[in-house]
C-alpha cells in the first residue's frame, strides 16, 4: 500500500508523468470522435466496431471478436445497434449460411471515416512534429502495451 504522506520515488514520479501523458493524449485523440458519437447516442465501442469492420470487411462475428479481443456480451448490443441503424450490414456467408459476414454500409463507411480520419490527421501532425525516431519509439511502446493484452 502506498503511503500518501510519503513523497513518490523518482521512478514513481517518472511513471506517473508517463501515465498522465497517456491519459491526456488519449483524451485529446478521442475528444472529437466522442462528440460525434454522442450526437448519435453511441460510445467508443461503436467507433471501435466500425473501425475494425472497416479494416476487415466481410469478417465474421467470431473473427471480429478475435480481432477486438472482447467477449460476445461486450459486442452484442452496440453491434446490433449499428446494424439496426444501417451503418453495418450482416450477410449470410455463401458457403455456410450460419456465418454472418459484417461490412460497413455506405453511411457506416462515411461515419467511420469522419471519426477515424480526424484521428489519423492528429497522429500525422504529431508524428511530423516529433520526427521519425520519436514515432518509431512510440510504436514500440504501443506494440508492447498491446502485446501485454494477449493471453
With CA atoms as reference, report the closest residue to 54 among 96, 99, 29, 89.
Answer: 89
Q: Which CATH number is correct for 13-147, 1.10.10.10, 3.30.300.30, 3.20.20.70, 3.40.50.150?
A: 1.10.10.10
Give the per-residue pLDDT at 2. 55
pTM of the model: 0.88
Would you state the cell numbers that stand for residue 135, as one nine-digit string?
Answer: 514515432
Q: How far is CA 140 from CA 6, 37, 137, 146, in A?
A: 33, 30, 5, 10
First to last CA, the chain: 28
What CA–CA distance (Å, rounded) separates 41 from 50? Answer: 15
Give the per-residue pLDDT at 147. 84
* pLDDT tens by residue, the chain, 151 residues: 455 667 778 999 999 999 999 999 999 999 999 999 999 999 999 999 999 999 999 999 999 999 999 999 999 999 999 999 999 999 998 999 889 999 999 999 999 999 999 999 999 999 999 999 999 999 999 999 988 765 5
Give the per-residue pLDDT at 149. 64
Q: How far is CA 137 from CA 102, 113, 127, 147, in A?
A: 34, 27, 11, 15
Give the per-residue pLDDT at 151. 55
Give the per-residue pLDDT at 150. 59
Give the per-residue pLDDT at 4. 65
Would you state the cell numbers that stand for residue 138, as one nine-digit string?
Answer: 512510440
Concatenate the DSSP letters of all residues of 85-136 into one string.
Answer: TTSEEEEE-SS-TTSEEEEE-HHHHHHHHHHHHHHHHHHHHHHHHH-HHHHH
Give the per-residue pLDDT at 7. 76
What CA–CA distance (Å, rounded) separates 9 from 69? Answer: 35
Amino acid at each position: 500500500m502506498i503511503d500518501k504522506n510519503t513523497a513518490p520515488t523518482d521512478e514513481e514520479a517518472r511513471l506517473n508523468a508517463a501515465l498522465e501523458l497517456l491519459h491526456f493524449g488519449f483524451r485529446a485523440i478521442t475528444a472529437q470522435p466522442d462528440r460525434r458519437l454522442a450526437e448519435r447516442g453511441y460510445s467508443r465501442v461503436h467507433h471501435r466496431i466500425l473501425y475494425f469492420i472497416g479494416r476487415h470487411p466481410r469478417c465474421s462475428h467470431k473473427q471480429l471478436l478475435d480481432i477486438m479481443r472482447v467477449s460476445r456480451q461486450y459486442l452484442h448490443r452496440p453491434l446490433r445497434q449499428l446494424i439496426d441503424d444501417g451503418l453495418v450490414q450482416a450477410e449470410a456467408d455463401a458457403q455456410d449460411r450460419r456465418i454472418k459476414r459484417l461490412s460497413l454500409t455506405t453511411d457506416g463507411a462515411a461515419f467511420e471515416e469522419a471519426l477515424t480520419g480526424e484521428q489519423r490527421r492528429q497522429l500525422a501532425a504529431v508524428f511530423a512534429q516529433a520526427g521519425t525516431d520519436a514515432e518509431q519509439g512510440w510504436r514500440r511502446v504501443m506494440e508492447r502495451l498491446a502485446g501485454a493484452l494477449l493471453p
